[in-house]
Amino acid sequence: MNLVHSEMVQLPARLGLSDLAAAARGSGVINVLQVVVYHGRRQLRHSAARVVETQLGGVELLVAYEGVDLAPLRRKMSRNQLEPLHEALDAVRFSRLRDQPGLSSDDTPLWLVQRATGPHLHGIILAPDKPELPYSRIVNAIDACLPAALRELPLRSR
């Protein structure tokens, strides 16, 4: 699993997203949430989605896909769209959670969910197809609040 973890952590940088901790320390940034989707069987493209919330009320979603030579897709969001997600993360005490137990590199897909606020950065790996509490609550909130972050792009065969 260490190789998969390393690949997941490095994926956002390979896709052109800045360092997560640096993004969280940016001027006026309140909170940054990132979801890296890793498809082990490689029928779909890996992706990274990042939500950046600023003090001025702006919320921007950036989504990048492996193998797509475009700048990350950008979409404006409202703070209200994210409120159920923040509530779910707080309810499960996200900052104290560890990776979902019992995962292997054979599980697919795997998500690396990270939240950064100022100097604090925390992330966990979970399997969205294994509905175990409290991880299922995080998965359901991401599904509901960030559907654009989870859009799947197939790999094209030659």
pLDDT tens for 27-54 read: 899 999 999 998 876 677 889 999 999 9
Over range 57-76, report the average pLDDT: 85
Q: Does domain 2-150 have CATH number 3.30.1560?
A: yes
How many of the other CB atoms lie within 10 Å of CB of 54?
15
Q: Which residue has the higher pLDDT, 140 or 149?
A: 140
Q: Which single residue is written with the structure tokens 């950036």?
A: 62
State how far the Cα of 67 lies from the Cα of 150, in Å rounded to an integer.
16
Question: Across all residues in the chain, what is the average pLDDT?
Answer: 88
Query: Amino acid identity of 141?
Result: A
Specify the pLDDT at position 157: 46
pLDDT of 101 over the 90 cut: yes
Give residue 1's pLDDT.
58
| Distance in angstroms (rounded) separating the CA atoms of residues 98 and 123 | 8
Count CB-CB contacts under 10 A for residue 117: 16
Average pLDDT for 10-16: 90
3 closest CA partner among 120, 149, 125, 91 = 125
Cis, peptide link before residue 84, omega less than 30° from 0: no
